[in-house]
Amino acid sequence: MQERMNIVSMIEKTIASKPIYDGKIIKVKVDEVELPNGKTAKREIVNHPGAVAVMAITEDDRMVMVRQFRKPLEKILVEIPAGKLEPGENPETCAERELQEETGYTCKTLHHQASFYTSPGFADELIHLYRAEGVKPGEAQPDEDEFVELLHVTKEEAQRLIENGEIQDAKTILAVYAWKLDASS
Say which amino acid occupies 16: A
Q: Which of 132, 112, 131, 114 is nearest to 170 (CA)?
A: 114
Q: Which of 25, 162, 185, 163 is nearest to 80 (CA)?
A: 162
CA 26 to each of CA 47, 104, 113, 123, 133: distance values in angstroms, whole numbers, following the listed order: 6, 27, 25, 10, 31
Q: Which of 56, 57, 52 is nearest to 171 (CA)?
A: 52
Which one of the listed residues 74, 144, 156, 163 is annotated catalytic? Answer: 144
Catalytic status, residue 144: yes
Question: Which residues are designated catalytic?
Answer: 144
